[in-house]
Amino acid sequence: MELLDHCPVCGWKKPDGSKEVCRDYLLTMDLFQVVECENCRLRFTNPRPSKKEIAAYYYSEDYISHTDRKSSLMDKAYQYAKLIMLSRKVKMIGKHSKNQEQTLLDFGCGTGDFLLAAEKKGYNAIGYEPGKEAASKAQQKGVRVLCTMEDLRDTITHTKPDFITLWHVLEHMHEYPEIIDTLHDFLNKNGVLVIAVPVSTSKDANHYGRYWAAYDVPRHLYHFTPDTLVSSIVKKGFTFEGKHGLPFDSYYIALLSEKHKKQEQTGLNPGKTKLSISGIVKAATIASASNFSALLKRTPWSGEVYVFKKTE
């Protein structure tokens, strides 16, 4: 475990305002503290597994964002929502540039579904994915994926991407915030950086508190709010162009959060915890309330996409 004695974004020496104590409901059932910087309000998991240690926390069949399993009803719903969201995401980023023949880098591309969707829409797309299993699944789909930063750097020198996308990736990265400088270097002139993250000030996050599934400790090292994310990126030579909501995220997250609550009552075994109909109805109600509140701009969406343009 590593303990950060300062805020990684602003350097504040007392990042000890404990916000929430959350459990790893997926794998170890260990408790992790989420702290909030007293100066810049950045929320992060502290202490956290080191870069070497974190791999052990990803070893689970339940980590479905890196697999394409379609067994349970929940997996099916997840995969279906994913398909709809993929085409929405490609359309979303298209609005931020008018040129034809765009090059795109999907940083942390997982099993390559967004890459595939982007390619179909005419993007010249490559992916970066250090997780070998996910990368090989992506490669089997026929998309181009690089697994090391060295290979990526070599490729980028020849063609700088017009778009870099990070779909629910930044919150996992030990390299944040320095990685933003690297991505800034990688991007073409006037290039667009697209970052999607869960938002820890959404209505569903407030409702579920420590059970909120998008805390996903210790895999999520950072727990962004619109302010902390945008200010840390703008500081690195970008302008903020706008944001979009991800309306399906709240449903998926609320279902998992209900499951976490049940796990806490019934002995923590993730494989044996099944949601009752009333649990599913409760989750759908909370998720809908969260989306409604976001539509009225009272609170952020459960998951949001932030768009930035390289300026310097």
Asked whether position 4 contacts Zn ion by CB under 5 A, the answer is no
- Judged by CB under 5 A, the residue of 12, 58, 63, 240 near Zn ion is 12
Closer to Zn ion by CB, 40 or 54: give it: 40
Query: In this structure, is the dihedral angle defined by the CA atoms of residues 145, 303, 50 and 185, taken in order, positive or negative?
Result: positive
CB nearer to Zn ion: give 37 or 93: 37
Among 39, 124, 155, 201, binds Zn ion (CB under 5 A): 39
Q: For residue 27, state whether it binds Zn ion (rule: CB under 5 A).
A: no
Burial of 1 (0-12, 13-18, 19+ CB in 10 A): exposed
Which amino acid, residue 141?
Answer: K
- For 94, the token pair is 């298209």
Q: For residue 65, what are the CA distances in angstroms to 56, 62, 70?
A: 16, 9, 12
For position 35 contacting Zn ion by CB under 5 A, the verdict is no
CB-CB neighbours of 295 under 10 Å: 11
Using the rule CB under 5 A, which residue among 26, 35, 37, 193 binds Zn ion?
A: 37
122 φψ region: left (φ > 0), alpha (ψ -120 to 50), beta (else): left
Stretch that binds Zn ion, among 41-49, 230-238, 240-248, 264-272 (CB under 5 A): 41-49
Place of tokens 């750097």: 153
Q: Considering the rule CB under 5 A, would residue 135 count as an interface residue with Zn ion?
A: no
Q: At a CB cut-off of 8 Å and minimum separation 6, what does 73 contact?
A: none
Residue 231 near Zn ion by CB under 5 A: no
Which of 29, 40, 54, 230 touches Zn ion by CB under 5 A?
Answer: 40
Give yes or no for a contact between 143 and 115, defined as CB atoms under 8 angstroms apart. Answer: yes
Q: Which of 26, 34, 42, 166 binds Zn ion (CB under 5 A)?
A: 42
Query: Quick one: which segment of 36-44, 46-54, 60-68, 271-279 binds Zn ion (CB under 5 A)?
Result: 36-44
Binding mask 141-180 for Zn ion (x = CB under 5 A): ----------------------------------------
Residues that bind Zn ion (CB under 5 A): 7, 9-10, 12, 37, 39-40, 42
